[in-house]
């Protein structure tokens, strides 16, 4: 597995199905930021990272399966660090998604939706569900708010940037002038709102905008510079405005899901998930519609 060199010590892969798994080399070992969803890619990336020194930490930026499933294949390699909001949702089965089953979709086979960009040899490494859940390799260091780690000659500022998910993190490395944003940034591809809080997300983008960095390693898509924060903000505001307009016009939830979409505006779906384009549009519209139309909380007695 090849890694793209972003700076002298920062490496990522933006060509896989799933997130952009990355690592940073320091004078005292390696720090991994998110792990590959695909089993053979996780094993290969672990080997590459360990060839540059012992893995000290594995930091996950969010609880979505494409950022955490590969932790299973990094057992015994470094301490996993999770925000509390991530830790509480780590591979939890929610009504809208079974993360273990969704991860399996990336493999070829009669029950999967894999493509030639996915993992044809991954089935041989795939764990049984019960075996997996006995120890998926989740956080050993769990925190709220922000956290700073020092590894060798590098600082890792773990910044709580909620919005896309409640436990969302950005990992800022001032010595490299780089920030890993997780899915707070979708670069050149469709944004997944899922169960997001868009107002929190926009506030978190402002926190990232204030950093003194040259490069953003996003959750998905190519590495970009800090100006892309404005592009991501514009995408969120466009979705919010379109659904708010639908509600103001009296459209039903079903009408909004059918008529509000940005599938021809905001780029393709990220690698290997083209079959989910319509799903993302309806999910995004429905999620925002439900938030706009939620009943106001009852006044305190």
Helix, strand or coil, per DSSP, at residue 115: coil
pLDDT at position 109 is 56
Q: In Å, how far are 48, 89, 117, 258, 259 from 62, measured between CA atoms?
A: 23, 9, 23, 29, 30
Cβ pair 118, 106 in contact under 8 A: yes
Residues 2, 194: Cα–Cα separation, whole Å: 30
Which uninterrupted H or E stretch holds 23?
A: strand 22-26
pLDDT at position 194 is 84
Q: Which two tokens stand for residue 105?
A: 């979709």
pLDDT at position 147 is 98
pLDDT at position 114 is 55
pLDDT at position 117 is 57
Provide the residue-wise pLDDT of the chain in tens; the chain has 301 residues: 899 999 999 999 999 999 999 999 999 999 999 999 999 999 999 999 999 999 999 999 999 999 999 999 999 999 999 999 999 999 999 988 899 998 988 876 545 555 555 788 898 899 999 999 999 999 999 999 999 999 999 999 999 999 999 999 999 999 999 999 999 999 999 999 988 999 999 999 999 999 999 999 999 999 999 999 999 999 999 999 999 999 999 999 999 999 999 999 998 999 888 888 999 999 999 999 999 998 867 676 7
Ordered DSSP codes for 28-86: TEEEEES--SSHHHHHHHHHHHHTTS-EEEEE-S-SSHHHHGGGGGGTTSSEEEEEHHH
Q: Which two tokens stand for residue 98?
A: 């079974």
pLDDT at position 112 is 54
Burial class of residue 112 (count of CB atoms within 10 Å of its CB; 0-12, 13-18, 19+): middle
């Amino acid at each position: 597995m090849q890694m793209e060199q972003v700076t002298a010590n920062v490496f990522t892969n933006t060509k896989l199905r799933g997130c952009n798994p990355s690592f940073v080399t320091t004078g005292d070992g390696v720090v991994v930021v998110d792990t590959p969803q695909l089993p053979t890619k996780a094993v290969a990336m672990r080997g590459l990272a360990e060839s540059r020194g012992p893995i000290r930490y594995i930091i996950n930026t969010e609880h979505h399966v494409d950022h955490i499933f590969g932790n299973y294949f990094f057992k015994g390699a470094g301490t996993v660090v999770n925000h509390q909001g991530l830790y509480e949702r780590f591979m939890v089965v929610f009504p809208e998604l079974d993360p273990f089953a969704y991860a399996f979709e990336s493999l070829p086979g009669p029950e999967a939706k894999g493509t030639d960009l996915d993992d044809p040899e991954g089935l041989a490494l795939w764990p049984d569900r019960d075996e997996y859940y006995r120890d998926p390799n989740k956080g050993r260091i769990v925190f709220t708010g922000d956290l700073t780690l020092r590894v060798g000659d590098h600082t890792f500022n773990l910044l709580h940037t909620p919005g896309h998910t409640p436990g969302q993190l950005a990992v800022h490395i001032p010595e490299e002038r780089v920030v890993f944003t997780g899915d707070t940034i979708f670069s050149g591809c469709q944004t997944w709102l899922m169960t997001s809080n868009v107002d929190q997300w926009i506030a978190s983008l402002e926190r990232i905008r204030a950093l003194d960095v040259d490069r953003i390693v996003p959750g998905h898509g190519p590495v970009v510079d800090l100006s892309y924060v404005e592009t991501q903000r514009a995408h969120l505001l466009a979705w919010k405005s379109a659904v708010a307009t639908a509600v103001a016009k009296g459209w039903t939830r079903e009408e909004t899901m059918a008529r509000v979409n940005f599938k021809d505006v905001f780029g393709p779906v990220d690698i290997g998930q083209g079959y989910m384009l319509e799903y993302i549009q309806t999910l995004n519209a429905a999620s925002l519609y439900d938030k706009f139309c939620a009943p106001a909380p009852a006044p305190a007695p």
